[in-house]
Amino acid sequence: EVQLVESGGGLVQPGRSLRLSCTASGFTFGDYAMSWFRQAPGKGLEWVGFIRSKAYGGTTEYAASVKGRFTISRDDSKSIAYLQMNSLKTEDTAVYYCTRYSSGWYPDYWGQGTLVTVSS
């Protein structure tokens, strides 16, 4: 059974940093691209970015709203994907979801989400 478990969320002040982790199980982690999405309170879903598998270069893509502030990385030996968030803004407040990307390049499995609140 595919499982994705996010951790690392919490309350952080504007301008500070936070790192989220996504621990995967139930599949060969290194074979898949991994992605992050977010959902602000009471709002819709927003793609944050993804990291390709090593077979596709392990390269990353980001939404314009986070480019230059957020970094996605992966540790295939531990089956963990990371979202490093720097220079956080109040508008980054959201539930952050980790997802696995299918071979068809869309998210097929989602974690339960972790809440990030950016406030002074």
**Tokens matching residue 24:** 């995967």
If binding is defined by CB under 8 A, does position 63 make contact with other proteins?
Answer: yes
If binding is defined by CB under 8 A, does position 111 make contact with other proteins?
Answer: yes
* Closest CA relative to residue 82, chosen from 32, 35, 114, 28: 35
Stretch that binds other proteins, among 15-23, 24-32, 58-66, 77-85 (CB under 8 A): 58-66
* Closest CA relative to residue 119, chosen from 91, 77, 99, 97: 91
If binding is defined by CB under 8 A, does position 112 make contact with other proteins?
Answer: yes
Stretch that binds other proteins, among 19-27, 59-67, 68-76, 79-87 (CB under 8 A): 59-67
